[in-house]
Amino acid sequence: MQPIIELSQIKKEYKIGTEEIHALSGVSLNIYKNEYVALMGPSGSGKSTLMNMLGCLDSPTSGEYILNHLAVAKMTDNELAEVRNKQIGFVFQTFNLLPRSTTLENVMLPLIYAGIEKSKRIEMAKSVLEQVGLGNRMTHKPNELSGGQRQRVAIARALVNNPAIILADEPTGNLDSKTSIEIMGLLEDIHKKGNTIILVTHEEDIAMHAHRIVRLKDGIVESDAENKNITSFATRMQNFA
């Protein structure tokens, strides 16, 4: 099976004054379609830098990155922006919703950039909002929604373009425990429907929802193993109750 993501000897170096920082020191990693992978690591491990690479938010100093058959490592900023819009759905800890726009308008945003006509945008956005349980909140603005509902809007926005991967960066970081469990349950459902999910987290209990856990340390992959003790939404709800 061909990987949906192929990283080969990815390095990233930054210069701060006269000091050279090696954020990534030769990361090689394959991720396959419909995998559910957690990226973990302490501060300074290279986890955030790797997330930026995977999300085409930054380019490596050296190495090769193939995303869904596209060689993205040497692309220009404009080319990377197009890849991000078509291939990657982002879910951020801080939601990143437009405060003056409705739920429906926020979800339609990637479709505007993709050049989809208005009637089709509305249809696609409504469909994905129904999928995440927000069919009755389409005209609400972010300040009229709970934290969990705002994250559901962000997940709907990530899904609307049918991207190759969903990249979730600390998706429960700003949520209470019960809402966190509900959001992880939603990601579990999305994975079951065939989506590839990469979850970036520093929380062990959140990482345990993933089927594979990749741990970074000092800019390299310290371990990459199947998760044999997957925590399901149902189990966590029972424990919470």
Are residues 47 and 58 in contact, defined by beta-carbon separation less than 8 angstroms? no
pTM above 0.85, yes or no: yes
228 within domain boundaries: yes
Burial of 18 (0-12, 13-18, 19+ CB in 10 A): exposed
Rounded CA-CA distance 36/5 in Å is: 13
Mean pLDDT to the nearest integer, 90-110: 93
Taking only the tens place, the pLDDT of each residue in 56-95 is 999 999 999 999 999 999 899 999 998 998 899 999 888 8
194 within domain boundaries: yes
Are residues 87 and 163 in contact, defined by beta-carbon separation less than 8 angstroms? yes
66 within domain boundaries: no
Determine phi and psi for 100, rounding to 5 degrees. Answer: -95, 0
pLDDT of residue 156 exceeding 90 = yes
pLDDT of residue 234 exceeding 80 = no
List, in order, residues 6 or more apart from 166 with CB less than 8 Å away: 88, 89, 91, 155, 158, 159, 187, 190, 195, 196, 197, 198
Determine phi and psi for 35, rounding to 5 degrees. Answer: -80, 155
pLDDT of residue 239 exceeding 80 = no
**Local structure of 149: helix, strand or coil:** helix
pLDDT at 241: 60
134 within domain boundaries: yes
**Local structure of 128: helix, strand or coil:** helix
Taking only the tens place, the pLDDT of each residue in 173-227 is 888 888 999 999 999 999 999 999 999 998 899 999 999 999 999 999 999 999 9
- What domain range includes position 182? 33-59+76-240
Rounded CA-CA distance 241/234 in Å is: 11
pLDDT at 16: 85
* Encoded amino acid at 228, one letter: K
The length of the chain, given as a count of residues: 241
Q: CA neighbours within 13 Å on the CB side: how many for 60?
A: 25
How many structural domains comprise the chain?
1
Task: Provide the Cα torsion 130, 131, 137, 140; round to 10°.
Answer: -120
6 within domain boundaries: no
CATH number at residue 43: 3.40.50.300
161 within domain boundaries: yes
141 within domain boundaries: yes
107 within domain boundaries: yes
